[in-house]
Amino acid sequence: MNVLGTLQLGFIYGILTLGIFITFRVMNMPDLTVDGSFTLGLAVSAALALSGRPVLGLLLGFISGAGAGAVTGLLQTKAGIHSLLAGILTMTGLYSVNLAIMHGSPNVSLLQSGTVFSAIRAAFPAANKDVVILTAIVVLCVLCFAGLAWFFHTGAGLRVRAAGDNAAMVRASSINADHVCILSVALANAFIGLSGAVLAQYQGYADINAGTGIIVVGLASVVIGEVAVKKQTIVAGLLAAVIGAVAYRVLIALALSADFFPAYMLRLVSAVIVAATLAIPRLRAFAQDAKIKKEGRRNVENQ
């Protein structure tokens, strides 16, 4: 197992998981825009790296992700479309947009052009290249984490958290619930787009199918992180998202290197992890009911 490479990917997906945490846990809404906005980040980032502006590519990956999220938010609030369908519509539309950005080609290679990572490597020629890259990714991920931790303690951040918790209260508090919703989905997808943008320049190519099923990867990371971090504050939740993303990569790398399953089984494994974790409360209740029944019957027999 390539430890540094696994950690690098883990922290890149950590940024994605921060975004998924915002919609899935803070807003309490599964947002399916993700598959499209992640690929959008890759496409935009690759296109700008190709034209020699890799840093701008990361920035625009963030902004275009926010734009995609805002479209989903508008569909939900102003058009009154169910949140799941709104996400699916944006995601589906983005497939064409992403192909258009990639000039109709399903993949774009960055082998011939500079990326932020080649620039960082060049800046520290003496150091180990994997360590330098990992450091850069960790710094970016920590910045995203810190930014969100700060944001969720501002007035706007509290509104986002309250909207996911008790929408009626938010409306009664003279807060425009529609704006809060649009802002939240935009913010979440901004980080998802940024994650895609970083990945494109990290791996040196963008692929139109990079986002397929990525929501499940993000959700799996969120639930794995919650196993590791028990505390339920917002900062703990953000931390759990990053830890979960790294742990997910490590687990997958271990499973692959031990030949537990071939690489093409990854998505199925992720889906099973998410389904199983989300089912735990219900399974616990079943087990508890069974226990109560068993004890009740035993008491009757003993009388």
Of the residues 56, 59, 138, 156, which one makes contact with other proteins according to CB under 8 A: 156
State the Cα–Cα distance between residues 65 and 42, nearest whole angstrom: 10
Nearest Cα neighbor of 26 from 150, 145, 159, 142 is 159
Of the residues 10, 65, 157, 193, which one makes contact with other proteins according to CB under 8 A: 157
> 10 Å Cβ neighbour count for 51?
11
Which residues, numbered 124-153, are part of the site for other proteins (CB under 8 A)? 150-151, 153
- Of the two residues 177 and 215, which places its CB atom closer to other proteins in the complex? 177
Polymer length in residues for the chain = 303
Does residue number 10 form part of the binding site for other proteins (CB under 8 A)? no
- Three-state DSSP state, 108: strand
Total binding residues toward other proteins, as defined by CB under 8 A? 24
State the Cα–Cα distance between residues 175 and 172, nearest whole angstrom: 7
- Of the two residues 56 and 167, which places its CB atom closer to other proteins in the complex? 167
Of the residues 159, 221, 229, 270, which one makes contact with other proteins according to CB under 8 A: 159
Which residues, numbered 33-92, are part of the site for other proteins (CB under 8 A)? none
Q: Tokens for 83?
A: 């949140």
Token look-up 């980080």 returns: 191
Q: In whole angstroms, how close is the CB of 140 to other proteins at the nearest point?
A: 21
Does residue number 19 form part of the binding site for other proteins (CB under 8 A)? no
Q: In whole angstroms, how close is the CB of 114 to other proteins at the nearest point?
A: 34
Does residue number 269 form part of the binding site for other proteins (CB under 8 A)? no
Does residue number 175 form part of the binding site for other proteins (CB under 8 A)? yes
Does residue number 230 form part of the binding site for other proteins (CB under 8 A)? no
Residues paired with 84 in a beta bridge: none
At 297, the amino acid letter reads: R
Instruction: Choose the stretch contacting other proteins; rule: CB under 8 A; options: 95-103, 122-130, 135-143, 165-173.
Output: 165-173
- Three-state DSSP state, 139: helix
Of the residues 109, 166, 257, 288, which one makes contact with other proteins according to CB under 8 A: 166
State the Cα–Cα distance between residues 45 and 115, nearest whole angstrom: 9
- Of the two residues 180 and 216, which places its CB atom closer to other proteins in the complex? 180
Of the residues 84, 165, 228, 289, which one makes contact with other proteins according to CB under 8 A: 165
CB-facing half-sphere around the CA of 296: CA atoms within 13 A:
6
Question: Angle between the 83-101 and 54-77 helix axes, to the nearest 10 degrees?
Answer: 150
Nearest Cα neighbor of 137 from 10, 44, 237, 21 is 10
Of the residues 174, 299, 302, 303, which one makes contact with other proteins according to CB under 8 A: 174
Q: Which residues bind other proteins (CB under 8 A)?
A: 150-151, 153-159, 161-162, 165-166, 168-177, 232
